[in-house]
Structure 1
Amino acid sequence: MHKSSDVPPAHAKGVGPASSPLVAGQYSILRNRDSNPDPNKVLDIPCSDSFSVIVQLEDFASHRLWRGGQLAYKGGHVRESTSIAYLGDEVRCQHLAAYDNLRINLPRTPLEDMLYEEGVSRRIALNCPPGTLDPVIYHLTQSLLPALKMPSKVNQLYVDQVMLALCTHISSHYGNVTHWQEPVKGLSAWQMRRAEELIAHHLADGISVTELAQECSLSRSYFTRAFKRSTGMAPHEWLLKMRVDKAKQLMLHSRLNLSQIGLDCGFADQSHFSRIFLRLTGTSPSRWRRFHRPGNPD
């Protein structure tokens, strides 16, 4: 029998402060934080056949977690630690201190579909002890934080690739499967041509890895690896290169200002355009334009 302090109040329900979710396919990414949570509030987590990957962005001093009405964890977590909870277990949590974390919801079906593409056919279960320090998970999720600030301007190819890498790592290290990958030879000529055409057609709005892979009759993970073997770049890097190439053409053959050129080429704003252009060319857009087209205003 549990002590009264270990049993969650029956009607103290609510939801914590959170950012707008970022959706990648059937996965969702959410940043949750509260510097002064109500210690008497117990949050009911909606039941679903999915896994919640929780990465602590700051030290979390104290909380309680119940599964099926039983106290499953009491304590805190250090910054950079990871926990994975199955949300079909009637999960409840009580925040007893300030928290800041990133939560990624992974429905079981798309996770198993991804594994099936890699030759694994079985029902997956994940076992990651609370507070596990996993630098791969931490740094992959860190790379998603900028996208959460501007979800409408996100590079979908990049988010898809991060999520693919994250799911692959989690299933390999914490799943009941032995991950297997088919040797990669690279894309065929027609597959490379089709991928280039699709990326070029979606420079402004972006395109997902899933769409590219389907057009090439490949799985997402195989396509990503084959594309990099063929080009030396990940698909999202190729997209950025093509955006910069298009920007160069507009700077040479139009009188549009740099801000408009950046938007027309799919960059979030002029700052984003300048940063990527500098990284790929070694110079700023304004300097490049002055050098290649003297006298043209910025």
Structure 2
Amino acid sequence: MTAQRHGVAVVGEPSAHVSDVGLVEVWRARCEPGATGDYVSLDPRLFIVLEPLDADMALTGRDGGAAATRDRSVSFVPAGEPVRLTVEGATEIRHLDLHFDASRIGPVAGMKDVAVSLPRLMFVDERVQRMARLLEAACARPGGGPGLYGDDLVIALISAALNGGDAGARRSLLSDRQLSLSVDFIEAHCARSIRLQELAELTGLTESYFSHAFKAATGTPPHRWQLQAQVRRAKDMLSRSSISLTEVAFAAGFADQPHFTRVFKSATGKTPAAWRAGVR
């Protein structure tokens, strides 16, 4: 990304998550009154303001369309689209930037050609904010990064942003702690059968309530999140070892190799063998 900033000072180093899915960076900066910034990214970009600001901030696109707020907001900027940031008064800003290559992450709900070609500036979506906060916390973990489920969070965040404004997200009553507990549990135990009762008891909710609240918060039902976690674990094994596809299938929690192949291809657009060959 190219950037020209005036009156914007970066504070410290960003925390980051880097993978073939995308680049995630969490930044903090101080802005002087009247500060400006001009940005162009080679890839589609999500710009997520993580906490309220002390002054109004505006984003203006190529066509002159602008949006302004001092609240937490989400902006999607297509590849190559210039955007200008202006700040009326002094403020600090903590934000998450996500740059991704749509061609490399496989099918994602809501990611149609039109969705990744049209800018959407400074809209409000609590689902996206929750995914962003989880991803920020994962990037900040001691010892390095978000682990296997970082890319699952990235994909969930992209899907939520491209389906922004879903009323289901506003109906969710899962707290950040409940969501973090349930996601961490699924990721840790994805290779075995996870009962909905376990997740409900973990969060202190009924099974029915938890199921609906989890989907409202993430855009994905719990069993689908577990499948995504299994695919991510399989990717890790395919890229790091030479064990057979059958061994990978069972180690990642799939019933058999045909089941593994069907789910993996549906998630990535490639068979496990083709994906492994491409990585190597």
Q: Normalization by structure 2: what TM-score?
A: 0.50
Larger radius of gyration: 1
Task: Tell me which of the two structures has the higher relative contact order, counting C-alpha pairs closer than 8 angstroms and 6 or more residues apart.
Answer: 2
TM-score (norm. length: structure 1): 0.47
Report which of the two has the higher share of strand.
2
